[in-house]
Amino acid sequence: MIVRTLISTALLIQSLAVSAETVFVSLEKDNAIAVVDPIAGKLIKTVPIGQRPRGIQLSPDAQTLYVATSDDDTVLVLDANTLAEKARLPSGEDPETFALNSLGTRMYVSNEDDNQVTVIDLQTKQAIQAIAVGVEPEGIAVSPDNQWIVSASETTNMVHWIDAKTHEIKANTLVDPRPRALSFTADGQQLWVTSEIDGTLMIIDVATKEISQRVHFAVPGVGKEKIQPVGVVVDNKRQWAYVALGPANRVAVVNAQSYAVEKYLLVGARVWNLAFSPEQQRLYTTNGVSHDISIIDLAEHKVTKSIAVGRYPWGVAVKP
Amino acid sequence: MRLFHYWFALWGIVSRELLRFVKQKERFLSALVRPLIWLFVFAAGFRAALGIAIIPPYETYILYEVYITPGLIGMIQLFNGMQSSLSMVYDREMGSMRILLVSPLPRWYLLLSKLLAGVFVSILQVYVFLGIAWFYEIQAPLEGYLWLLPALVLSGLMLGALGLLLSSFIKQLENFAGVMNFVIFPMFFMSTALYPLWKLQESSEWLYKLAEYNPFSQAVEFLRFALYAQFNQQAFIYTAVAFALFLILAIIGYNPSKGMMQRKGR
């Protein structure tokens, strides 16, 4: 009997541990990070952090949280468990977004004002190089095999392919106006790019570096000018992709095999960034103008809850 | 009187109502078309007009269609209640009411049976409506459809009792237009069926108060919460009390020695 109780308790604890993911949201106007328990659907706490936090990501081992505090001109290194500051990285001016390689050894930061990408060695915490790119770099990503760093220039309307070993631009892909976010598929064969002004989603073939597909969006009852795609994520099986449509207040559900837009899910106002839960059962969205995040159940493709988090939620990272 | 007699009377009244309902295919269709037009045409025009606010029982942003669905369920029941009151007036004019009322069973029981018959028909309509709405992507949690059933019985009884009460006042079939103008429309428009209370409060405080105390609003809110598997206690109490009040008044109204029937000298 005792053994059985022990086993069931252990199982219970394990199931709790599995479901107990934590969502970190950077709050651009509150200069803070919101910590959310998405299972309970509650804001746990808000932690003041630095001026204008935007880009936010966890290290591959989920023990370190990186937050770009744009107006402090740095990327903060925080303990993901305690949120205590461990270091500040020399990110260059006005860091907004950044990307990590899969080993967690390098960080690549977009410096919008200086038209460059800063490379930081995360072991020595030193900036080792600044790579000149097009005007207003924003979206940045590293290919799953760590071969390519891709940087999207909002004004040049290009995706730059930077060799991760030599830090040289090897190729450029001309894309639709104002590219915002980039996302590699898990197999590394495709790069998904959003264009804010044209309201399109482009799928670039990594081998040829050319656009192979273009997806258009049309939300019934919403003006075309409001459809401004920003965040894009593709699930590991490359079955579904999700695109945040900004002021259209919708997340588009795209079939990643047929490239058909299957559904538009209503979320909060001005949805920008997206993040999966660890097992990709849920998707979290930051809704800047309505000051909340929405939770989407990916099995059903339904928005289950929206949770108020604070002023201007920008980025989101999910800790298992 | 044995229990059997009560059961037999109830069965007789319900089956008559059902028969009438099944025979009149146009009535079923029109009862269904009305809310569907509201859903597909009216709501489509106001899709995003609700603005930003998450109100219980909803946990996230919703489209207008989703918001008015419980209101349209209430509408089905409201019209149904009025329809059965209309049929009461018709029965009275045609004389079949006398046959009903000469039964040795207590009058309150006969009236309640009549009410239940109407509610039964309205519940059928509601579920068909919700079935169509499901394919239009208006989907509540599955258990909500179960919780909705008892809520529909109460709200249907309340609106039916109101219809019954009104029918005790109406002398002729022609006067029914007045009921439309003075009861159905104000009740429907001054309620939470089409817009949430906070939206009404933004435009007018007295309209807000009227809507808040409108029993139809309370019935709609009770249904709205039930559809999302939640229990709204305040709306429940309000609806139940309104039902009791309307029923008592209707029973008095149908009492030949005290009620309105005598006064009208029929």
Which secondary-structure segment (H or E) carries B29? helix B25-37
Name the minimum distance, in Å, from the CA of A290 to any CA of chain B.
Answer: 7
Q: Is the confidence at residue B177, as pLDDT, over 70?
A: yes
CA distance to partner chain A, nearest, from residue B130 (Å): 18
DSSP, collapsed to helix, strand or coil, labels residue A41 as coil
Nearest-Cα distance to chain A for B60, in Å, is 5
pLDDT 10s digits, A158-200? 999 999 999 999 999 999 999 999 999 999 999 999 999 999 9
Residues of B with CB under 8 A from a CB of A: 44, 47-48, 52, 54, 59-63, 139
Picking from A99-108, A200-209, A237-246, B82-91, which range would have the lowest pLDDT averaged per residue? B82-91
> pLDDT tens-digit profile of B230-254?
999 999 999 999 999 999 998 888 7
Considering only CA atoms, give the Rg of chain A: 19
Q: Report yes or no for ipTM above 0.85.
A: no
Instruction: Judge contact between A234 and A248, C-beta under 8 A.
Output: no
Q: What is the mean pLDDT of residues B218-225?
A: 95
**Distance from C-alpha of A277 to C-alpha of A237, rounded to nearest angstrom:** 15
How far is A232 from A200, CA to CA, in rounded Å?
11
A219 lies within 8 A of chain B by CB: no
Q: How far is CA A100 from the centre of its chain?
A: 11
Residue A3: pLDDT above 70?
A: no
Residues A304, B60: C-beta atoms closer than 8 Å = yes
> Scanning every residue of chain A, which has its alpha carbon at the shortest distance from the alpha carbon of B55?
A306
Name the residue with tokens 């069973």: B105
Rounded Cα–Cα distance for residues B239 and B219 (Å): 6
Instruction: Say yes or no for a CB contact (<8 Å) between B61 and A306.
Output: yes
CB neighbourhood size of A213 (10 A): 14
Lowest mean pLDDT among A112-126, A291-305, B175-189: B175-189
Yes or no: say if A235 and A254 are a contact pair by the CB < 8 Å rule: no
A41–B contact, CB cutoff 8 A: yes
Range of B177's domain?
3-264
Measure A268 CA to nearest chain B CA, in Å: 7
- A127-141, B21-35, B169-183: which has the highest mean pLDDT? A127-141
CB–CB of B48 and A305 under 8 A? no
The confidence score (pLDDT) of residue A279 equals 93
Split at pLDDT 50, 70, 90, the class of A4 is: low
Mutate which: A250, A262, A266, vs B, most B CBs within 10 A: A266
**Are B62 and A266 inside 8 Å of each other by CB?**
yes
Cβ contact (<8 Å) for B60 and A267? Answer: yes
pLDDT digits (tens, 9 = 90+) for B121-170: 899 999 999 999 999 888 899 999 999 999 999 999 999 999 888 888 77
Task: Answer whether residue A105 shows pLDDT above 70.
Answer: yes
The DSSP bridge partners found for residue A100 are A107
Q: For residue A191, what pLDDT is reported?
A: 97
Mean pLDDT of A144-154: 95
Nearest CA in chain B to A221: B47
Look at residue A246 in the predicted model and tell me its pLDDT.
Answer: 94
pLDDT at residue A127 in the model: 93
Residue A8 has pLDDT above 60, yes or no: no
* Cβ pair A221:B44 closer than 8 A: yes
Give the count of Cβ contacts less than 8 A between chain A and B.
Answer: 33
Contacts of B63 in chain A (CB under 8 A): 266
What average pLDDT does the structure give for chain A? 92
- The secondary structure of chain B in percent helix, strand, coil, rounded to multiples of 5, reads 75, 0, 25
A302 vs B contacts (CB less than 8 Å): 139
Residue of chain A whose Cα is closest to the Cα of B61: A267
Q: Give the model's pLDDT for residue A2.
A: 53
Nearest to B63 among A266, A290, A304 (CB): A266
Query: Cβ contact (<8 Å) for B61 and A41?
Result: no
Contact A306 B44 (CB under 8 A): no
Q: Give the single-character DSSP code of A79.
A: E
Tell whether the model's pLDDT for residue A152 goes beyond 80.
yes
Query: Considering the entire predicted model, what is its pTM?
Result: 0.84
Give me the number of domains chain B comprises: 1
Residue A17's pLDDT is 47
Query: Which residue is closest to B53 within chain A, CA to CA?
Result: A290
Q: Do A305 and B59 touch (CB under 8 A)?
A: yes
Q: Is the pLDDT at A16 greater than 60, yes or no? A: no
CATH topology of domain A22-319: Methylamine Dehydrogenase; Chain H (2.130.10)
CB-based contact (8 Å) between A313 and chain B? no
Summarize pLDDT for A278-308 with one digit per residue, the tens: 999 999 999 999 999 999 999 999 999 999 9
Distance from CA of B70 to the nearest CA of A (A): 19
CB contact under 8 A, B61 and A294: yes
* pLDDT number for residue A214: 96
pLDDT digits (tens, 9 = 90+) for B60-115: 888 888 999 999 999 999 988 888 777 777 777 777 777 777 777 887 888 888 88
pLDDT score, position A1: 46
Higher pLDDT, A133 or A220: A133
pLDDT of residue B50: 56
